[in-house]
Structure 1
Amino acid sequence: MTAPQPRPAPPVADATTLRLGYGTNGFANHRLDDALAVLADLGYDGVALTLDHDHLDPFAPGLTRRIAAVGRRLSALGLGVVIETGARYLLDPWHKHAPTLLHDDPTRRIEFLRRAVRIGADLGAEAVSFWAGVRPETVSPQCAWDRLVAGCATVVDAADSAGVTLGFEPEPGMLVQDITDWRRLRAALGAPARFGITLDIGHCRCLEPWPVPQCVAEVAEHLVNVQIDDMRRGVHEHLEFGTGEIDFPPVLAALAQAGYRGLVAVELPRDSHAAPAVAARSIEFLRAAAIAGRTEDEVPADIPGVPA
């Protein structure tokens, strides 16, 4: 089938040109068609589509037909898309996120990621995002690392064959939890061209050693997917904007000045009970923050990698 192509990104001239998206894991109580319509009506530019039981289940029958239907829907609504793979119980009804690439038998996870790559290719997704997982207590750190590198290499091969860009996400508490860990993994894989980074802005505040705008600059060259939410230092809890500790105008200005052209997708997976209202508040907040971020003094001149 002919893959629908994502809507072209507008030129990046200032902070207001950032393309805003919303994660469908924050619309878990909506049918996917309805969630996409709500987000388009609110003015979002795209979606971060988490493959899950009710949102394009990659293991349910009729996958090719369902991919085509979602592609038509995205195209009709003018929405770009990235593919997310953080479904909690899709692979194992008893154990959250299991199996990961670190488990004794990662077969089902690898098949899931291969299918995600296929779906990403068919939908013209801007990136397919995935992560390491938490190291099982029975698995040694070295064994877990070796398994991760081997599993990622398999996914990279699939992405290369499909022409899909991968965004690997550092996740607090997982084997790869920060930018330094991501760099180590990328090096172990031989620095593949399609192996980029998914940067969660909240995670930067949670545990990275740098100010959040500097985190953007540190990975600007490899940034292929951005998730955005508020957070507090040392607490991995995705919060609505304005309820955490992040100063967002400098962050959005840093993204724009770094030339990032992908989606900046709101990541609030525990707010599905009030999804339309939360999504409406979120886009209003981010638009205001983007305008505020245009002032010259919002992004410090000494942040490495951010053009003056």
Structure 2
Amino acid sequence: MTLHLGYGTNGLTDLRLDDALGLLADLGYEGVGLTLDHMHLDPMAPDLAERTRQVRRRLTSLGLRVTVETGARYVLDPRRKHGPSLLDPDPDARAARTALLVRAVDVAAELGAHAVHCFSGVTPPGTSPDTAWKRLTEAIAPVLEAADRSGVPLAVEPEPGHLLATLADFHHLRALLGDPGPLGLTLDIGHCQCLEEATPLECVRQSAPWLRHVQIEDMRRGVHEHLPFGEGEIDFPPVLAALAASDYRGLTVVELPRHSHAGPELARTSIDFLHDAMTRGTAPRGAAPC
């Protein structure tokens, strides 16, 4: 089974970025999900270009691949989690989020990232679904243009509680936009367990043609809480086997954003768990893994 495992820096926020990258390389990860945020690679920094070049050199020296994630909680507004979003009633606020995502595409191109992740945001109170979808399509269009120019796909994540919450919503966005080439999918395995009608295994199989980024953690049905492996309900060996069979070649990134206090230890136990699950996923039926 060939999967390329990474770990998200949003689960290592107590570490300097150089230290986090060194830790992941030492543990055997092949890549990193790099969340652009103030404590690591700050997308609002005036010297962002130079910082990005430094990170690229560090990634190259460690042999790490990278995907760029944009889920920082307060990077644009210190008082509103994930605000402003692509759905904000204020056109200037929506434009600020669009500009951040375009900047993320530029950073990703400089780093040689395989994708840029984003999500829609929560529908503001009093906003009709038609209005929300119209705002989303208009606000994301310049990001897709930047992705097309750079050759780095944009991978939209269905997020519980957001306008674009499910795989069906992702396909609705595709249809509204005319199925643009740069638009792909971030599949979060835990989110599949949390709220999709299909099982995580079925979600992987159904999503294979559009997969550009994968996030992974444990989760329980109906509860949006990212859990360390073994603390939720997901049966991982068949899910990982399905990912490998899908010919997905990007990173599969451990996503534990609320566990930075234990990040180094969880990075170690997570890669051990996933290697074991991959071994069990490829063992002949009825045979014990080596």
Give the TM-score range, shorter chain: over 0.9
Return the alpha-carbon distance in structure 1 between the equivalents of residues 219 and 169 of structure 2: 20
Q: 1:296 deviation in Å?
A: 5.2
Say if 2:117 and 2:186, in contact at 8 Å, map to a contact too.
Answer: yes
User: Paired residue for 1:48, among 33, 40, 44?
Assistant: 33
User: Paired residue for 1:112, among 100, 103, 116?
Assistant: 100
Say if 2:95 and 2:139, in contact at 8 Å, map to a contact too.
Answer: no
Return the alpha-carbon distance in structure 2 between the equivalents of residues 297 and 87 of structure 1: 42
Residue number in structure 2 paired with 1:194: 182
Counterpart AA for 1:100:
S
Return the alpha-carbon distance in structure 1 between the equivalents of residues 284 and 129 of structure 2: 45
Q: 1:194 deviation in Å?
A: 1.3
Matched, 1:72 2:84: no
User: Paired residue for 1:101, among 75, 80, 86?
Assistant: 86
Gaps of 5+ in 2: none
User: Paired residue for 2:224, among 227, 236, 244?
Assistant: 236
Q: 1:138 deviation in Å?
A: 3.2
Residue number in structure 2 paired with 1:26: 11
Counterpart AA for 2:210:
H
RMSD: 1.0
Change (3 A) 1:137 1:297: farther
Counterpart AA for 1:25:
N
Query: Helix, strand or coil for the counterpart of 2:83?
Result: coil
What is the aligned-residue identity percentage?
58
Return the alpha-carbon distance in structure 2 between the equivalents of residues 69 and 43 of structure 1: 22
Q: How many residues align?
A: 283
Return the alpha-carbon distance in structure 1 between the equivalents of residues 266 and 124 of structure 2: 35
Residue number in structure 2 paired with 1:282: 270
Return the alpha-carbon distance in structure 1 between the equivalents of residues 95 and 212 of structure 2: 26
Map 1:1-308; keep pairs closer than 5 Å.
15=1, 17-105=2-90, 106-295=94-283
Return the alpha-carbon distance in structure 2 between the equivalents of residues 156 and 176 of structure 1: 17
Question: What is the CA deviation profile of residues 62-115 of structure 1, one whole-angstrom value per residue up to 9, with x for unaligned ones?
Answer: 111101000000000000000000000000000100000000231210110010
Return the alpha-carbon distance in structure 2 between the equivalents of residues 212 and 296 of structure 1: 21
Question: What is the CA deviation profile of residues 170-206 of structure 1, one whole-angstrom value per residue up to 9, with x for unaligned ones?
Answer: 0010000010000010111110111110000000000
Return the alpha-carbon distance in structure 2 between the equivalents of residues 119 and 296 of structure 1: 43
Q: 1:297 deviation in Å?
A: 5.0
